[in-house]
Amino acid sequence: MLILPFSIGDESYALDARQVVEVAPLVDLRPVPFGPEHLAGLCNYRGSAVLVFDLSKLLLGRSSARRLSTRILFVRITDGQGKERILGLLAEGVTEAVRTQARVLAGNEDGILGPVLDGEEGTVQIVDLDRLMPRLGAPRLPSGEGSE
């Protein structure tokens, strides 16, 4: 399995690399009035307005630190109407994708995150986008924005 590791606080997390469209440096984000607290802002991604959510704010209640390794992970999701969209996830400690032969230590059937894996890279928890998306509370963008 190819994963993209990152950190939230002192803990290690990862996304299945197949879900990641692109990793980009942190850019200035446009605020979104009346959005949820974990909505970091809006950015232009290849000509479309894309919402960017702060994973650290969502899971720990504090904003991601502005570091050289803090990145925007552009991911492809399917919204409630079955339409594919691109969303941004702000994450710290992003480096590069790694191939892992990790074994599952524990499942997480009831939580918003996926299983905990243990491998050569250490212990990492997978972020399951299908479970995470309903918790984001994404405001609706005008038609044509935020999609490819």
Give the global pTM.
0.83
Q: How does pLDDT run across 57-74, given as a tens digit for each residue?
A: 988 889 998 888 899 999
If one compares 111 and 78, the residue with the highest pLDDT of the two is 78
Return the pLDDT at 59.
83
> For 1-57, what is each residue's pLDDT tens digit?
888 999 888 888 889 899 999 999 999 899 988 888 999 999 999 999 999 999 999
Q: Which residues contact 117 (CB under 8 A, 6 or more apart)?
A: 14, 100, 102, 103, 104, 105, 123, 124, 125, 126
Cα–Cα distance, 139 to 2 (Å, whole number): 31
